[in-house]
Amino acid sequence: MKRPLGVIVVAILMFMGRGVLTVGSLMYFLLGAVAVTAGAEGPMSRLFSDVGTIGVAIFAILAAAYLILAISIFRLVYWARVAAIVSIGFGLLFAIIGILVSFPRPDRMVFGWQLFVIAADIWILAYLMRPHVREAFNVERVVAQT
């Protein structure tokens, strides 16, 4: 079966998300280093250092997971569709929580971004649930088992 165009788009979006997470990891690393090397001693310097280290690890792990998931989605690996649905579902949940927490005075840029993320997540989830997309992933699974 031919690879659906939407699967290519989803893989590209996930690969771009990996890039954003990688930049986020680098930013946490750099901001943590700046906070520590600012010459200040005491608990706040240590706190910024710890947050930077934890942020680097979290973003780096997520970036690696997104890279593996993007490649696997592109290759139509069966588990990748399920993993993408689960991870995007969590992303959707956290975006909704982010909007709810920002009330009563949300930042307009953040609010707009969260609405964009929610719309994109809903589109991707709906697309991955379509029968022809599900079948494309199942075909590769059946072929691999024979």
Comparing 110 with 68, the larger pLDDT belongs to 68
The CA–CA distances, whole Å, from 74 to 4, 45, 97 equal 10, 43, 30
What is the tens place of the pLDDT at every residue in 63-101?
A: 999 999 999 999 999 999 999 999 999 989 988 887 888
Q: What is the C-alpha to C-alpha distance for residues 18 and 47, in angstroms, rounded to an integer?
A: 27
Confidence of residue 141 (pLDDT cuts 50, 70, 90): low
Contact 70, 18 (CB under 8 A): yes
Which one-letter amino acid corresponds to residue 101?
V
Q: What is the C-alpha to C-alpha distance for residues 88 and 110, in angstroms, rounded to an integer?
A: 19
- Rounded to 5°, angle at Cα 126 from 81 and 139: 40
